[in-house]
Amino acid sequence: MLITFFRAIILYIIVLIVMRLMGKREIGQLQPFELAISIMIADLASIPMTETGVPISSGIIPILGLLVMHLIISVINIKSLTAREFICGKPRILIYRGKIDEKALRKERFTINELQERLRGNNIINLGDVEYAILETSGEVTVIQKPEKRNTIPEDFNITPDYEGIPYDLVIDGKIMNKNLQLIGKNYAWLKKQVEKFNMQPEEALLVTIDGKGQIFCQKKE
């Protein structure tokens, strides 16, 4: 029982490292070859995890082999457009200039109900509001609304908003983010002074952030 426990931990760490090296994608954004490799990795890890008679190397070596294969395919995808189209496929337009392309739906084995479901997932209730709907290689549907149905933006009114930048975490769960302090050209003494305005010390804060306009958010740990 103890052996199975430690084998599970070792295989979990190996799979975690391999998945981390494969990149940062959500499950819904995986390309077909990435999804296939992920499923195979799960199967390869489960066998030596539960079968103590199977050497743990029988799971680790094939998993590392799949990682190498993934890296090779990723490089090929970057270097060759033809290979990329063959491995990952090409986006397909399901709605073109407001009209549903029935041939495209049949080729992708997409029903009208599935299309409507994907549109609702993009907050589109009326199909007549759609100018283009594109089925991406990941399986996601990208929707471009008709110009008169799109949300307005400041540019529509010739307004240029002030630059906002990105917020930085300065303290997380009482831990000082010194690297972020350096990025904004500040130090601990400055941080301490700012946090004391909220009647606490930096080490007592659950979260301290600063946005591009210099506004600070601070919340104390319970």
List of long-range contacts for 74-82, beta carbons under 8 Å, 24+ apart: 74/23
Ranges for all domains in the chain classified under CATH 3.30.240.20? 92-149, 168-220
Kindly report, residue by residue over 162-194, the tens digit of the pLDDT.
777 789 999 999 999 999 999 999 999 999 999
pLDDT at 13: 85
Q: How far is CA 195 from the centre of its chain?
A: 33
pLDDT at 28: 56
The architecture (CATH level 2) of 168-220 comes to 2-Layer Sandwich (3.30)
CATH topology of domain 92-149: CRO Repressor (3.30.240)
Point out the residues of the chain with pLDDT beneath 50. none
d(CA 24, CA 213): 30
pLDDT at 21: 76
DSSP string across the chain = -HHHHHHHHHHHHHHHHHHHHT----GGG--HHHHHHHHHHHHHHHHHHH-TTS-THHHHHHHHHHHHHHHHHHHHHHH-HHHHHHHH---EEEEETTEE-HHHHHHTT--HHHHHHHHHHTT---GGGEEEEEE-TTS-EEEEE-GGGSPP-GGGGT--PPP----EEEEETTEE-HHHHHHTT--HHHHHHHHHTTTS-GGGEEEEEE-TT--EEEEE--
